[in-house]
Chain A
């Protein structure tokens, strides 16, 4: 995926909830790339324009699995807290 595509996808999947300053996505992508979690590669499009596509790395996948697990635990805990008393 490329930067613009990621923004559109985030917006679509969150049903418009996630709307942030688009320029700030790139520092985040560069930080992830520096940490070896994603890899950016330039590709030349048929119209002659270069575009940078990002792919998740093996390190990124394992990090994502850990983060996802933590997030699910957090959500579970929040659900328990917000349950009405007596349940």
Chain B
């Protein structure tokens, strides 16, 4: 196959953003189509260069084809929508029923979150796994919250180390997720500004004290409500086909939920903190696509496993 046709298929592959087995099947199918067309054109006495040009013209825009195939494959089932929104629902219920302080319930939810995230990660990273993956970062955040409670010298010693390790861990997960699709990184990190917003509402000085736990009791129904909104957002995201609608949904829902947090915080979040959280939210939608571009350009060319071959049987 000529360089122009290989490049054409590469553009389609880069813009497909579907599961790896499906991606390989689509590319194999188009490859066979191109070979059939080239063979026919060459048999008609057309030169290879001219045949390639004609073939590309007949196929149409690579980006349009990739977008249409993405839309054919992107819509998840209702089951997948429920599975994807489950971590938000679980945390929503924990807070709505004020069960968040029961260590047993909290442990069950956390074990479920981590177990499901690990299972999904090692089973092809399906779309539903990314919301779970975001919550699996909670133990990392909890360790960070416990650090200020260490003896003074230890706190100063461990905080820089913790931040370096936590950021490195976050970066690794975001890079891996962005290799699948940058939109999933945004989906995964969507609750982050909302959780930070609630945390700063109950613990403005960054330390969890008895008073801040009492505030969690007070704000629990609203915290639960914000998780339930996130759950609905994720369910709608899974059911939508068009990419631009998915992006718009995440942006609008994220900003509205953050505004709701500020509203119910009743003045506990200062304007500058709110603006900072809005910027964090925008960062979630700007950094992943930029990271994807960087990964595609430099040494970080997207290295998705491409050795998959479609399941075939012998023709009769």
Contact = CB atoms under 8 A, between A and B. Distances in A.
A52 B29 contact: yes
A57 interface: no
A62 interface: no
Interface in A33-67: 34, 41-46, 49-52
A24 B60 contact: yes
B48 interface: no
B311 A42 contact: yes
B32 A49 contact: yes
Contacts of A16: none
B59 interface: yes
Contact of A30 (B28, B33, B64, B69): B69
Nearest to A51: B32
A50 B73 contact: no
Contacts of A21: 58-61
A71 interface: no
Contacts of A2: 32
A30 B73 contact: yes
Contact of A43 (B29, B60, B313): B313
B279 interface: no
Nearest to B314: A44
Most buried by A among B33, B35, B68: B33
B36 to A, nearest CB: 4
Contacts, number: 77
Most buried by A among B64, B72, B309: B72
Interface string A1-35: 01110000000000000000111101100110010
Kindly state the interface size class of chain A when it binds its partner.
20 to 34
A7 to B, nearest CB: 8
A44 B310 CA distance: 10
A3 B26 CA distance: 12
Interface residues of B, number: 30
Contacts of A23: 30, 59-62, 64-65
A5 to B, nearest CB: 9
A19 B254 CA distance: 44
B13 interface: no
Contacts of A43: 312-315
Given A42-B310, A43-B314, A44-B312, A22 B68 contact: no
B37 interface: yes
A4 B33 CA distance: 6
A50 B313 CA distance: 9
B25 interface: yes
A50 B309 contact: yes
B19 interface: no
A42 B60 contact: no
B311 to A, nearest CB: 6
A42 B313 contact: yes
A31 B28 CA distance: 18
A34 B68 contact: no
A61 to B, nearest CB: 21
A26 B59 CA distance: 10
A7 B312 CA distance: 22
22 contacts: A2-B32, A3-B29, A4-B32, A21-B59, A21-B60, A22-B37, A22-B60, A26-B26, A26-B29, A26-B30, A26-B65, A27-B68, A27-B72, A30-B72, A30-B73, A34-B72, A34-B75, A42-B312, A42-B313, A50-B309, A50-B312, A52-B310
Interface of A: 2-4, 21-24, 26-27, 30-31, 34, 41-46, 49-52
Given A21-B60, A23-B60, A34-B73, 8 more contacts: A21-B58, A22-B59, A26-B69, A27-B72, A30-B26, A42-B313, A43-B312, A44-B315
